[in-house]
Structure 1
Amino acid sequence: MAKEATLQVRMDAELKEQAEALYREMGTSLAEAVRIFTKQSVLENGMPFVVSANRSSSYGRLAKYADYLKMEQEKIAFEKAMAEKHEESD
């Protein structure tokens, strides 16, 4: 399968370094781990692991990990990219 799309994710620099070191020790890369996670999510039609907490929804369970500032920045970047993409196709 051709790799023709790019995914940008904002995260804490220290967390990224830790994850890169972890996957490097495992003989792979953080980028490949993200591809594996995404493919497995699609195959399972959901998270490829059990998320547990005392909350009633998946969003509620994962909300404590969210960085709302980065989510807003990503939303703005996505909207800008989509506008630029549609301007190019006109």
Structure 2
Amino acid sequence: GQNNPEVLFYSFIKLPEGKMSTRKGNVVFMDDLLEEAKAYAANVVREIRVDYSEEMIAKIAEAVGTSAVRFNIIKVSPDKGFTF
């Protein structure tokens, strides 16, 4: 089966271009954000530690990318808006 999306409720989350709108299609999906964060972390690790295996880089990128996204979400109180 198909997974239903999970919704994160915050007061108001905006993009740099303006507010998100599912009707207009300008939204950020959590899966996409996590993948981008992991890819970024993997690239940083590759630059710093050229001796690490791809398996090690993937493990580090998973932990760092996911943790960075979580931290940036929870550091803001749910009753305050923020720009994503």
TM-score by length of 2: 0.30
TM-score (norm 1): 0.29
Which has more helix, going by share of residues? Answer: 1
Q: Which has the higher contact order (CA 8 A, sep 6+)?
A: 2
Give the structure with the larger strand fraction.
2
